[in-house]
Structure 1
Amino acid sequence: MATDQNPNGKKLTKEQERERKRKALDEATKKKTSSEKGKASSKEKKSEVGRRRILPIWLRLLIVLVLSAAALLLGVMVGYGVIGDGKPMDALNWETWQHIIDIVTKTE
């Protein structure tokens, strides 16, 4: 296992080694950013400003809720009308649901 040593030959503590690595990383980052400053393009400037969304998040949530409700209604109609051999529009009547609730809870 290699031990990290400073230029004087003394063993460094973990905290000192972390600090040395942090400084080296900061210096490398500064060199990289200073060399790229002259090469900044309009594409990089746009990414700094931010991105404009076509559809706001609240509208996306609303669309998901509406599509989920439509899928639920369509599924109920297909299940009742096609699989259950009933009229698909009867699946939307309250009397049908009341009858199903009565069957499940066994009240008449």
Structure 2
Amino acid sequence: MPTKQSEKTAAEKESRKARRQEKKQKPVGNGQAASEKLTRKEQKKKQKEEKRKNKKPRRRIFPIWLRIIVVLLICAGALVAGLMIGYGVIGDGVPSDALKKETWQHIIDIVIKTD
């Protein structure tokens, strides 16, 4: 008496054989299969073109040029805040002195060591 497991494997073997025979019977190269692929490719191209035509143009509420300006302003603000925190809190100075020209001239003189 065959078990369920052996019945499944026998059925799988038969289906594999059937698939192999179908593959062997299909024409290869310039036959019917090649022409079907071309039509499928053409259909995909047409579908893509239709999607592009039907797609709504994207309207940006926050334009790219304005984004760039905002990012640059945020970076400048972070730089100023970092200078003031570094000079005033960490360096025990007056935070507003970090923005004065005389302070930076003094720092440059120390680094270069002009005599």
Q: Using structure 1 for the length normalisation, give the TM-score.
A: 0.64
Rounded to whole Å, the distance in 1 between the matches of 2:110 and 2:42 is 75
Name the structure 2 match of 1:78: 85
Post-superposition Cα deviations, 1:63-88, rounded to whole Å, max 9, x if no partner, equal 00111000000000000000000000
2:65 maps to which residue?
58
| Cα deviation digits, residues 32-69 of structure 1 (max 9, x gap) | 95xxx9xxxxxxx4xx1211111110000000011100
Cα deviation, residue 28, structure 1: 5.4
Larger Rg: 2
- Unmatched runs of 5 consecutive residues or more in structure 2: 1-23
Aligned length: 88
Quick one: distance in 2 between partners of 1:65 and 1:92? 18
Offset at residue 24 of structure 1 (A): 4.9
Aligned twin of 1:25: 40
TM-score under structure 2 normalisation?
A: 0.60
Structure 1 counterpart of 2:109, one-letter code: D
CA RMSD in angstroms comes to: 3.5
Which structure shows the higher helix fraction?
2
Shift of 1:107: 1.2
Residues 39-50 of structure 1: pairs in structure 2 closer than 5 A: 45=54, 48-50=55-57
Q: CA deviation at 1:92?
A: 0.4
